[in-house]
Amino acid sequence: MNRLLFKFMVLIAFLNFGISSFAEQIGAPKVRIRVAQYQKTVDFVLPQGGRWLSNNRSGSIPAGKKCRITGTLKQKASRKFHLMVGSASADNQKEIDETMDKFIKMGFKTHGFMVGREPQAGYPDNRLVFIGVATFFDEAEAKKMQDQLASRNISSWVFTETIEPAHGTLKLTVAGKPVSFNFAELQLEGKAGVRLLQAEHAKGFSWHGFADRTYKSRVQIRFGSENCLDCIEHTDLESLLVGIVPSEISASAAPAALQAQATAARGEMLSKMGTRHFNEGYDFCSEQHCQVYKGIQSCDDYIYNSIRNTWGMVMLNHENKVLDAVYSANCGGHSSANQNIWTSKMDPHLQGVPDTIEPTRLNLTDEKQVEDYIRNPPPCWCSISGIEGADKFRWTKEISGKDWHKVEDSLEIGRISNIGNYTRDISGRIISLTCTGEKGEKTIMKELAIRKLFGMLRSSCFVVNWKRDEKGLINGAEFAGAGWGHGVGMCQTGAQSMALKGKTFQQILLHYFPGARLKNLY
């Protein structure tokens, strides 16, 4: 897109809305969250009955009867795949220009893409501009160029733009009796919630499975951007947090840890509203990609009473905007710097802090120090025995045989002779490595891609002993690692330990997000 035209579009967007200011009293924002996804059929039950709705039609659904929605796909979704290399706040034209100029000087033709949902009056504007260097209609081609950029030590990500979602028809069967064959979408309302049967969760993770889950608010079903049936709950942020908190952290955690989790999750969601699933018909998914959410749980009343004193509370960053208060399960003893873990601009509140109980100087970018740190760790908040997640503080894993062949197949450079040239983040996590094979070299960038390469390691903070065959080619590996997850922001295990030792939720948050300010947004 022409830069002058893009500047004009950004300016008009802000003139139409105005720069957001914080209001004294505004209600919790409405949120749409995709809670499940099915290929063709959705089985559900309304435990105490309810009704279905579609356009101007509606009908009753008896209590406890198994019902089914069957979808027939008529037209697949239309999508583009943008290769993005940076981002900037939509109201910071200087930052947008500087990022674009950086890549123009490298010979790229750049374009800007605004993402985010226009906020309600009184909420801060979190819209971003993603800076791209290429656009494809084939995701494989986008990833091919991503590998080419990685070989030049340029970090990037593939952003999917939904141009048009899939279209199809839905057939509703209530207690074995067909109701209609030609719905475009359906909405379900239950007197005591909507129970979706055998909803898939944690796809791609070792704990992947299927479970029946019940949702309190209205659930919409329609074809989405991935040519499947999306189930989307329409609720509000505070109601959603009651379900997110025990899904993300132990419900038995001390109240201060639950309050810290609620405040962090609220901030992360408000800062990312409309940027994670742009133009897909919902704001967030209920998986690790956004926030884990399992619907109604038996502990909901306890969680509500435990976190109600944080209602509307967020952390503000140095720009007086809502801080993207991310978190992970176990930092391993030191949290990470956001720009090293993701392709994002540096956030001064997310530069990593030691999680050691006593002050300790660590240089975990140094190979010798990180090996000693992993094998002989100092006492840390996230290492205290008996706390949920503390068993992930240190871990080992071996790869051999067909599992190693999967690594070779994914790299597509033949048998591997060497893996090295590590670059480590302040937390010790490897954020770049180079693999040398019979057919060439490939550089893998960012911690999640590295974890996935080796069969989804708990983290990329590891040291490794490469096993070799008689020809000196790698045929296996023995890993010793630290932590679980990306490590940026709040360490959930550490937060639980600090709460048990009497730290308040404010002290916990300001330990993991130094320099931030707490404020009630509504």
Whether the per-residue pLDDT at 12 is higher than 70: the answer is no
Q: Contact at 8 Å (CB) between 373 and 349?
A: no
Domain membership flag for residue 229: no
- Is residue 37 included in any domain, yes or no? no
Are residues 392 and 473 part of one domain? yes
Q: What is the pTM of this model?
A: 0.90
Could you tell me if residue 353 is inside a domain? yes
In a domain, 223, yes or no: no
pLDDT attached to residue 207: 84
Confidence class of residue 22 from pLDDT cuts 50, 70 and 90?
Answer: very low
Calculate the dihedral angle through the C-alpha atoms of 303, 306, 311, 317, rounding to the nearest 10 degrees: -100
* Mean pLDDT value across residues 437-460: 96
Find out whether 428 and 337 touch, Cβ atoms under 8 Å: no
Q: What is the pLDDT of residue 181?
A: 75
Does residue 2 surpass a pLDDT of 70?
no
Q: Are residues 304 and 364 in the same domain?
A: no
Q: Which residue has the higher pLDDT, 198 or 116?
A: 198
pLDDT at 4 over 80: no
Say which CATH number the domain at 156 has: 3.30.70.1070
Among the candidates 164, 184, 202, a domain finishes at 164
Checking if the pLDDT of 314 tops 70, the result is yes
Give the per-residue pLDDT at 9.
46
Residue 185 and residue 221 in contact, taking contact as beta carbons nearer than 8 Å:
yes
Cβ–Cβ under 8 Å, residues 229 and 221: yes
Residue 174 in domain: no
CA–CA separation, 306 and 256 (whole Å):
8
What is the sign of the dihedral through the CA atoms of 347, 348, 352 and 357?
negative
**Residue 45, domain member (yes or no):** no
Assign 155 to helix, strand or coil.
Answer: coil
pLDDT tens digits along 118-162: 877 777 788 899 999 999 999 999 999 999 999 999 999 999 999
216: phi then psi, degrees, rounded to nearest 5: -75, -40
Give dist(CA 164, CA 99) in Å, integer: 29
Rounded to an integer, what distance in angstroms lies between the CA atom of residue 229 and that of residue 485? Answer: 29
pLDDT at 331: 98
Mean pLDDT, rounded, for 382-397 = 96
How much is the pLDDT for 60? 94
Measured CA to CA, the distance from residue 481 to residue 461 in angstroms comes to 6
Do 288 and 371 lie in one domain? The reply is: no
Q: Band of the pLDDT at 171, cuts 50, 70, 90?
A: very high
What is the rounded average pLDDT of the residues 430-447?
96
How far is residue 359's CA from residue 382's CA, in Å, rounded to a whole number? 15
Interatomic CA distance for residues 393 and 385, integer angstroms: 10
Is there a single domain that holds both residue 444 and residue 349? yes
The position carrying tokens 């956030």 is 347
How is residue 488 annotated by DSSP? B
359 and 468 share one domain: yes
- Tens of pLDDT along 186-206? 999 999 999 999 999 988 887
- pLDDT confidence tier of residue 477, bands split at 50, 70 and 90: very high
Give one DSSP letter per residue of 35-50, joined into a string: EEEESSEEEEE-TT-E
Same domain as 427, residue 334: yes
- Identify whether 44 is part of a domain: no
The pLDDT confidence band at residue 488, using thresholds 50, 70 and 90, is very high
Q: Is position 408 within any domain?
A: yes
Q: Report how many helices (DSSP H) and strands (DSSP E) the chain contains, helices first.
A: 12, 27
Q: Say how many domains are in the chain.
A: 3
Identify the domain containing residue 288 by its residue range. Answer: 237-323+493-522
